[in-house]
Structure 1
Amino acid sequence: MPTAFPYHTPVDHAPRKRTNVVVDDDSGTDVLQTVSSETAQQILTTLDDNPATTSDVAEAINTSIQNVKYHLEHLCDAGLVETVDTWYSKRGVEMTVYALSVEELVIQLKQ
């Protein structure tokens, strides 16, 4: 049965080329904590291929939607992932589409 809502519209998104994060006594530890999680790394790898919804990512890495939401929130706060679109399910439910915000992340440690 056809639906009035587009399910997967094309996403026109180009991440920034590079982001440098300087870790010193005052900042940067949040980014390190965020990317140190295996789940966060799997999410980043999944989003490296294509933008995706929370449920798409959860299915791809075989974990719960709640777990993916938790990590996506932290990845967004760290500036590594961003929302790029809204798709609709076949039932008309809005789904946020996430993508990498940077192609390359460089972490510098300073004393």
Structure 2
Amino acid sequence: MASLLPSQQPVDPPSPDRTEVVVDGTSSAAMLSTLSSETARDVLAALRADPKPLSGIADAADTSIQNARYHVERLCDAGFVEPVDVWYSRKGREMTVYAVTTDRLVIRFEPRR
């Protein structure tokens, strides 16, 4: 029996941009702190190939959905990941699909003023 709700539509992720972080002692600490977590880096690696919902991210990063959600939220706040679509589970529940927003990170150091 075919479902009335699409379970997984193809997603065109945003074209990744270069992200520049200026290390000057102000707001860069939060962004760099986000990337210091191994799990956050695993989440980014999981999203490199294709956008995924939290359950797919958790499976690919070998972590719990709760832990994946925590790191995805931090990566969204830092601007490395963003929601790109909504899929529906077999039970009809909405699942937000996430994708990376950057393919390179440039860290530039500037003197404090």
Structure 1 length-normalised TM: 0.94
Residue 12 of structure 1 corresponds to which residue in structure 2? Answer: 12
**Distance in 2 between the 1:82 and 1:15 partners?**
12
- Name stretches of at least 5 consecutive residues in structure 2 with no aligned partner: none
Residue 28 of structure 1 corresponds to which residue in structure 2? Answer: 28
**Distance in 2 between the 1:15 and 1:34 partners?**
22
Residue 54 (str. 1) matches residue 61 (str. 2): no
**Runs of 4+ with deviation above 6 angstroms:** none
Q: CA deviation at 1:54?
A: 0.4
Indicate conservation of the 8 Å contact 2:21/2:106, yes or no: yes
Q: CA deviation at 1:89?
A: 0.2
The alignment of Structure 1 onto Structure 2 pairs a total of residues equal to 111
Aligned-residue Cα RMSD (Å) equals 1.0
Q: CA deviation at 1:109?
A: 2.5
> Percent identical across equivalent pairs?
50
Secondary structure of 2:67's aligned partner: helix
Secondary structure of 1:4's aligned partner: coil
- Name stretches of at least 5 consecutive residues in structure 1 with no aligned partner: none
Letter in 2 for 1:70: Y
Secondary structure of 2:31's aligned partner: helix
Secondary structure of 1:74's aligned partner: helix
Q: CA deviation at 1:7?
A: 0.8
Q: CA deviation at 1:97?
A: 0.2
Q: CA deviation at 1:26?
A: 1.3
Residue 38 of structure 2 corresponds to which residue in structure 1? Answer: 38
Structure 2 length-normalised TM: 0.93
Secondary structure of 1:45's aligned partner: helix
Letter in 2 for 1:65: I
Secondary structure of 1:66's aligned partner: helix
Q: CA deviation at 1:16?
A: 3.3
User: Do the aligned partners of residues 62 and 16 (structure 1) sit closer, same or farther apart at CA in structure 2, a change above 3 Å counting?
Assistant: closer
Indicate conservation of the 8 Å contact 2:14/2:99, yes or no: no
